[in-house]
Structure 1
Amino acid sequence: MTRANNLEIDTGSGLMLVHEWGDPNSATPGILLLQEIFGVSPYIEQRAAELSALGYYVIAPEIYWRLDDVDLSDEDAPDLLERAVGTMQRLDWDQAVVDSVAALEYLRGRDRRTGIVGFCFGGGLAFNVAAVSSPDALVSYYGSALPNLLHLAPDVTAPSLHHFGDADDYIPVDVVVPALVGAEVHRYPKAGHAFDNPMPAFHDTDASALAWERTVEFLSRTLQGAS
């Protein structure tokens, strides 16, 4: 897997640690990759490396950078999910949006097309960022905050792709989907929440593969101009 470089982005109120894949000075399209509640985990790093290999300059900010005592590094810890949820609940959502917009503006600073890809917590955050700072494309995987963000749907004008598992216990999919007017939405009948995450408790092999295939095609079409 291609290893990331680290840089810091000025958010206006501090320097945020960001991981990058690819050449920042290239003309390739940029992707802002927004983490799950587990942070910029090896899974998120893997997806970033895969996107970079497809010809994108990818950055993944440490959204928890303002919080103290964040330790989510042990993926085998029995209380990992509990600690991740607790960490996310301490986060200032509005500040996380501001920080993410700063990362998106960094991508735009080199006059490139820009997209946002977010998973779970990051899927909702990506939706909010797209509403206040229009990217060229949005991909949201089962955005966990979407039920509370549907009032922003009219403000999300970028071409958008959403993935949901019909067996998701955290998102009322039948309520959320009708509000995403104009978006491309795919539902996976047997998949639960976080089905793309490779952890055995979440992963659905078939849904993950199909959703990623659709994501790659959508990004190619919207950011690289492929038909």
Structure 2
Amino acid sequence: MDEIQKEDIKQEVFDLYDDYAHNRLNRRDFVQKLSVYAVGGVTVASLMSFLMPAYKGTMQVQPDDARIKSEYITYSSEKGGGTIKGLLARPVASKEKLGGIVVVHENRGLNPYIEDVARRAALAGFISIAPDALTPLGGYPGNDDDGRAMQSKRDRNEMLEDFIAAYHYLKNHKDCNGKVGVVGFCFGGWISNMMAVRLPDLAAAVPFYGGQPAAEDVPNIKAPLLLHFAELDTRVNEGWPAYEAALKQNNKKYTAHMYEKVNHGFHNDTTPRFDKAAAELAWNRTTDFFKEKLK
């Protein structure tokens, strides 16, 4: 069988994977529905393999990159999960205090992709922390399927407290200038929005395809927002018009970008939903935004 090409996969397959990845389909139903698209030389097994994250060879910044210092640390989250593990990263060349970025994972814990994003943030000139909300359950288990199952056992509002605690940890770090922003993906996008609601001193928030806060929470937002959406992500996008209306009504500072013909998760370079052009553009916009707001 020839290797599966992204352009040969129907959009319905990506939609099925989105349902599976967000716990709206169990594995058995996912496989059953996927079998409809296993035609010709394409098997269900090959489709499954194609859709799942592939971490080998995708890292953009290696853990031992000499330009940055990265290390695992722990911090206290008294209102959340207790002691939380996170990856702390910063550039080695800088002697000045740096703007801080909390990097928030998807709904599966601190996997290699999110660790890589934290290192990219450090390479862009920031001190970053990427917490693992699965710490109270033993930490990211080494694969996304088990990580997703584990994360579903935690209360999302308790996890929000873990990331708020990370904000305070970073804000008070000796190498941070006291200005801290947040960037998050999927579940982390919702966390980013909610940190903007909860933290009046948050310097900037960048949700990637994240769920929106309630309209009555929007008046509490003080941080400028940079929001990234995927055109084919109908699930998340359906909440955007009401959110935007509330932002406008309350005179909030925001910029939103809709990336054409890409799926939810387009920034994640370990899955076939990745879109290189959109991911690079969104990341460059993100780092430029942080350079403006966190200096």
TM-score, reference length from structure 1: 0.85
- Identical-residue share of aligned pairs (%): 27
- CA–CA separation in structure 2 for the residues paired with 1:62 and 1:26: 27
- CA–CA separation in structure 2 for the residues paired with 1:89 and 1:112: 33
- CA–CA separation in structure 1 for the residues paired with 2:160 and 2:245: 24
Q: Work out whether residues 22 and 57 of structure 1, in 8 Å CA contact, stay in contact via their aligned partners in 2.
A: yes
- CA–CA separation in structure 2 for the residues paired with 1:142 and 1:62: 20
2:85 match: 17
- CA–CA separation in structure 2 for the residues paired with 1:60 and 1:31: 9
1:155 match: 220
Q: Structure 2 regions of 5+ residues with no counterpart?
A: 1-60, 64-69
Q: Match for 2:156 among 93, 105, 108?
A: 93
1:6 match: 72
Q: Match for 2:182 among 106, 116, 122?
A: 116
Deviation track 1:108-136 (CA, whole Å, cap 9, x = no partner) reads 11452111111110110111112111311
Tell me the secondary structure at the aligned position of residue 31 of structure 1. Answer: strand
- CA–CA separation in structure 2 for the residues paired with 1:149 and 1:64: 26
Count matched residues. Answer: 215
* Alignment of structure 1 residues 27-106 onto 2, 5 Å: 27-67=97-137, 71=141, 73-74=142-143, 80=145, 83-106=146-169
- CA–CA separation in structure 2 for the residues paired with 1:153 and 1:88: 26
Q: Work out whether residues 110 and 140 of structure 2, in 8 Å CA contact, stay in contact via their aligned partners in 1.
A: no
1:189 match: 260
* Cα root mean square deviation, aligned: 2.3
Match of 2:224, as an amino acid? Answer: P
Deviates more, 1:23-32 or 1:202-211: 23-32
- CA–CA separation in structure 2 for the residues paired with 1:70 and 1:22: 22
- CA–CA separation in structure 1 for the residues paired with 2:140 and 2:287: 32
Deviates more, 1:169-178 or 1:124-133: 169-178
| Higher Cα Rg, which structure | 2
Matched, 1:215 2:286: yes
After the TM superposition, which segments of 4 or more aligned residues of structure 1 sit over 6 Å from their partners?
A: none
Match of 2:196, as an amino acid? Answer: A
- CA–CA separation in structure 2 for the residues paired with 1:60 and 1:199: 18
1:137 match: 204
- CA–CA separation in structure 2 for the residues paired with 1:61 and 1:70: 11
Deviates more, 1:186-195 or 1:102-111: 102-111
Q: Work out whether residues 2 and 21 of structure 1, in 8 Å CA contact, stay in contact via their aligned partners in 2.
A: no
Match of 1:137, as an amino acid? Answer: A
Match of 1:31, as an amino acid? Answer: I
- CA–CA separation in structure 1 for the residues paired with 2:242 and 2:195: 21
- Relative distance call for 1:200 and 1:34 in structure 2 (3 A) is closer
- Relative distance call for 1:119 and 1:63 in structure 2 (3 A) is same
Matched, 1:167 2:232: yes
Deviation at 1:179, TM superposition (A): 3.6
